[in-house]
Amino acid sequence: RVLRTLRRLQIVWRLVSGLLSAWDTMASTMGLILLWLYIFGCVATEIITNDPQLRANTDTAAIIDTHFGSVPRATLTLLQFVTMDAIAEVYFPLVVEKPILIIYFLPLLMFLSIGLMNLVTAVLVDHALRQSSLEAEAARDEKKREIKAALPGLLDVFDSLDADQSGYITREEIAGVPLTLLPPKILETASVNSMEDLFDMLDGNESGSLSQVDFLDGLLSLLVHEMPIWALQLQKRLLPLQKATNQISNDLQFIKWHHESF
């Protein structure tokens, strides 16, 4: 339960870190929106607030007094176009009374409500992808450091197990060797009771011996990559099947070509 909680907190921290790292984008966006709203608010006081045709209609006059009475009020009203908050109640009666105002409201709808918000979303997503790429690169560097630190110790373990210095270790050679010879993290991941059990886990193809490469690959997968041992065994068992499948495919292609030639 504690591990699950820590994993969730790591995800939350990643989200918070992404928002904090994108503060410059968010601040720039906020400044651009405020500038856009202020400009259109000033225009609204000239073409809407002082328009005699709109003032003559009681419905549109009420909208003007409520939403476009001053530049700050007009700017606050136009903020609804950012959030798409009941904007039809504002522009619809005005455009019906004076259709030419569609030239004023259409840029607000297209560039502010749709274009700018989608652009900001794209920028934030791109920033999140770049941040994730940097984190993945940092994780790979950390894995490389772990491998570099663990490799000499694992080589010493293999040399101590390879009694006849043949380059291979057998089940008989590691019989009776204590588990304390292995790094503690491997024991936590593998959950084995003896070195013989570890040998059986690493010997996925049941050849009866392990080369230095097979031994190091299996232990590094447990130590660094945190790959389940069953996945490692399955991968080793699938390699011969893949080779056999490729060979069968090549033979069938040859038979087909030979048959078509006749």
Rounded average pLDDT over 100-118: 82
Average pLDDT score over the chain: 77
Q: Does residue 252 have a pLDDT over 80?
A: yes
Q: Which residues, 6 or more positions from 147, have their beta carbon under 8 angstroms from its beta carbon?
A: 220, 224
pLDDT value of position 233: 59
What pLDDT is stored for residue 196 in this prediction? 76
What is the pLDDT, as a whole number, of residue 3? 44
Distance CA 207, CA 32 (A): 68
Highest mean pLDDT among 85-89, 161-165, 232-236: 85-89
Q: Is the pLDDT of residue 131 over 50?
A: yes
196-233 pLDDT tens trace = 777 777 776 667 788 887 777 777 776 665 555 566 55
- Specify which of 17-21, 50-54, 109-113, 207-211 reaches the highest per-range mean pLDDT: 50-54
Kindly report, residue by residue over 156-187, the tens digit of the pLDDT: 777 877 777 788 888 787 777 777 777 776 66
Q: What pTM did the predictor assign?
A: 0.48
Rounded CA separation 112/258 (Å): 67
Strongest mean pLDDT among 68-77, 81-90, 118-127, 241-250 = 68-77
